[in-house]
Structure 1
Amino acid sequence: MKKDSTRVAIIGASETSSVGHLPNYSMLQLHAEAARLALDDAGLTFDDVDGLATAGATPAQLTEYFNIMPHWIDGTSVGGGSFLMHVSHAVAAIQAGHCNVALITHGESGRSRVGINNSHSGPSTIAGQFELPYGVWGPPSMFSIPIVRHMHEYGTTEEQLASVAVATRQWANLNPRAMMRDLISVDDVLKSRLIAWPLHLLNCCLVTDGGGALVLVGEEIAHEFAKEPVWVLGRGETTSHMNISMMEDMSSWTAAKQTGNDAFAIAEVTHNDIQHAMLYDAFTHVPIYALEGLGFVNPGEGGPYFAEGHTAPGGNFPVNTNGGGLSYTHTGMYGMFAIQESVTQLRGEAEQRQVDDLEISLVHAPAGMFSGTATLILGNK
């Protein structure tokens, strides 16, 4: 991987006006509001958009709803990390001249289920034949399987898993938009309702409604907008397996090493340059796997790292500063909100939770049950 020859920047970013329980919004309305607000943030309109990427909804649903006909579209939809992949694809499309203004949208009625596109694993699918008959159903029962191997290999404890939720809630306490803001303890997590061992309720993400959108342009016009650009410095993506039973090594996120290495190589930065990270947290073990897979700590050191408070307010490595999917919001595909927080932080707009003197932030997310992986490195210089 080599450094991009032409830089691309995020010059518009916004979430929907509110997140949480929004039964009066359909999936498409959430996409539309987020898109309009992101375009407003950039001082643009739908007439300026000639590139579109989305997941959950199809590009055709949105082009009809937005009444646009772009020159470039991307419907990559592999799970929560899809939006990180869209950013990477938009960078390539702008560099290649396929579009000038790329709009990436997310809208999901994850809690209210209004106007959603339904999908399921029927009995003839691979999962239907080889996983579902054995009792796995839904993310908690699938994502929990690797945790037990990690506990066996490295001695990771339930208390360490709980400490991820505790640290993230401390950040949510500083975010007025967060759904869950009351501070919690390790004991609170362990006493919450058991969902799928070792996951208790407070080890699991929220289920909410909401959306977000991004606007990207090339370097030649990036400084023409109201706000300073946030540059896409590095990027990496892959998919490996579909079913959790086919994960290469259940004690480690092997794909994270690949996407992280790609992103670091393109950005020409090192781990020591990363001052802030947004690590997808559908469940409390996912950021632990991310820290280890990306190389910030050695295998088995992720749990103790969170337990020692490094990622919490006042720690030396701020992680999930919006409150994460565990406490801020999680519509089902959370990756867009992770990008939004990095942009907010790099713009210096995070108010009480602002990371001082921030120049470089990393965003990392899975897609499905560790089946896809994407990494972005963003900067404001």
Structure 2
Amino acid sequence: MASRAVIAGIGQTAFGRLPGRTTESLNIEACRKALEDAAIEKDRVDGLLVKVPTSRVEMMYGQKLAEAMGMQPRFGGVFDQGGASNISMIGIAAMAIEAGQCEIALVSLADNPKTGSRAAYEKPWGDAADLGWSSVVAGYALIARRYLHEFPNAEELFRDIAIAARAHGAENPNAQLRKPLDTATYEAANWIVEPLRRDDCCLISDGAAAVVVMSEARAKELDVRAPVPVLGIGQGNSSSDVTLRADLTKTRADVSAATAFAMAGLEPRDMDCAQIYDCFTVTVAMTLEAYGFGSFDALHELGRAGGFGVSGDLPINTSGGLLSETGMPGMQLVLEGVRQMRGDSVNQVENARKCVVSNQGGIMHTHSTLILGQ
């Protein structure tokens, strides 16, 4: 794009069990805080993009939210790629700003499956439900089983991913689960759907998060405190159900990452940290390899050496990710990427200047990538 987009403001609610909160109220709180962070008046916003709530899908939700916020945006609506929606919406906002369709956009996600409905995560899965295949976790367990067939010691990598996320979440005062994890506890935990243990699986959470997107020039004009440039964006969509895939351990994450890295003119080795969608630990392992951070053997050794920690060679999910900060799908990873680039994360990576963020939806159906930097 000729003019660079920036994330000018970020906002979030509390995460966890939030009884009595509607998705509208959660979205409004996160959006208000994002605008306050950017020091932008609501009336200046002319774009509103929102992810459809998983816990309660409804028509015209974007217009409903705009009405509740007292806004009449000229650009926007609802977008749905599951957990990949957030980065994709940021990309759409950036392109709309470039094309003159809007000037300042709010991008937001809220959901309340913890105190509302979890039906979307527990539903029977197509015709295979007659054979007992029910719930999202069963789909990921199928993928994890194949991954373990190809890499028999992958459970050790899963464990090290979970331990790193939980260590970071323990230091994050906003995290839903602030309890470190050790090897013995990980190995003693129950199976949720074998081969995925309890600590391989993300949290179920109420909450919301939002960002303000505008051009770099507009941010300078408005004297935004700490804008973070969007260097690259990308998507890659598998668009086929799990049982129809030729290879269960390959997704289109590589296409998404290659698009974003090419746009940024950067490579994986240029990244100082990574916020990787961790709905399940197997997702992180597959994404890191697809992004070009190393082969399975290299990642395995990196995990064993503590390389996923804040002071490691590849710090990942430094706020705790979906495994520890909040299970709400994806936007919280963007917020942590922004904090790392601003230098104000509670688990700050020293001299962090470049960060890659991944989002993923469905059962690895969709993927989106965001590269942030200074």
Report the TM-score when normalising by structure 1. Answer: 0.91
Residue 26 (structure 2) pairs with residue 30 (structure 1) = yes
CA contact (8 A) 1:242 1:369 kept: no
Residue in structure 2 matched with residue 155 of structure 1 by the alignment: 152
For 1:144, which of 141, 145, 151 is the aligned residue?
Answer: 141
One-letter identity of the residue aligned with 2:279: A
CA contact (8 A) 2:203 2:326 kept: yes
For 2:238, which of 210, 215, 240 is the aligned residue?
Answer: 240
* C-alpha distance 306-247 of structure 1, shift in aligned 2 (>3 A): farther
Residue in structure 2 matched with residue 88 of structure 1 by the alignment: 91
Residue in structure 1 matched with residue 263 of structure 2 by the alignment: 266
Where 1:350 maps in the other structure, the secondary structure is: coil
Pairwise CA RMSD of aligned residues?
1.9
Comparing 302-311 with 67-76, which one deviates more in the overlay? 302-311
**1:158-217 superposed Cα distances (whole Å, 9 cap, x missing partner):** 232112111111111221111222221122112112110111111111111111110011
Residue in structure 2 matched with residue 377 of structure 1 by the alignment: 371
For 2:314, which of 310, 317, 338 is the aligned residue?
Answer: 317
Query: Distance in 1 between the 2:264 and 2:257 partners?
Result: 11
Query: Distance in 2 between the 1:195 and 1:122 partners?
Result: 16
* C-alpha distance 374-59 of structure 1, shift in aligned 2 (>3 A): same
**Displacement, 1:357?**
1.0
Residue 335 (structure 2) pairs with residue 345 (structure 1) = no
Query: Distance in 1 between the 2:300 and 2:23 partners?
Result: 36
Query: Distance in 2 between the 1:5 and 1:347 partners?
Result: 24
CA contact (8 A) 2:310 2:348 kept: no
**Displacement, 1:24?**
2.8
Residue in structure 2 matched with residue 335 of structure 1 by the alignment: 330
**1:305-356 superposed Cα distances (whole Å, 9 cap, x missing partner):** 323321123211110000111111112xx210000100111111113x1111
Instruction: State the number of aligned residues.
Output: 366
Query: Distance in 1 between the 2:106 and 2:64 partners?
Result: 14
Residue in structure 2 matched with residue 286 of structure 1 by the alignment: 283
Query: Distance in 2 between the 1:240 and 1:9 partners?
Result: 28
**1:118-152 superposed Cα distances (whole Å, 9 cap, x missing partner):** 769999xxx522x3222221121111111111111
Query: Distance in 2 between the 1:239 and 1:76 partners?
Result: 15
**Displacement, 1:299?**
4.6
CA contact (8 A) 2:26 2:208 kept: yes
Aligned pairs (5 A) from 1:1-381: 4-16=1-13, 18-57=14-53, 58-113=61-116, 127-129=125-127, 131-223=128-220, 224-253=222-251, 255-299=252-296, 301-331=298-328, 334-351=329-346, 353-380=347-374
CA contact (8 A) 1:143 1:244 kept: no
Where 2:350 maps in the other structure, the secondary structure is: coil
Report the TM-score when normalising by structure 2. Answer: 0.93
One-letter identity of the residue aligned with 2:126: G
Structure 2: which 5+ runs fail to align?
54-60
Structure 1: which 5+ runs fail to align?
none
CA contact (8 A) 2:256 2:369 kept: yes
* C-alpha distance 357-236 of structure 1, shift in aligned 2 (>3 A): same
The alignment-based identity, stated in percent, is 30
CA contact (8 A) 2:7 2:213 kept: yes
Query: Distance in 1 between the 2:274 and 2:362 partners?
Result: 20
* C-alpha distance 120-203 of structure 1, shift in aligned 2 (>3 A): closer
Query: Distance in 2 between the 1:277 and 1:337 partners?
Result: 13
* C-alpha distance 304-365 of structure 1, shift in aligned 2 (>3 A): farther
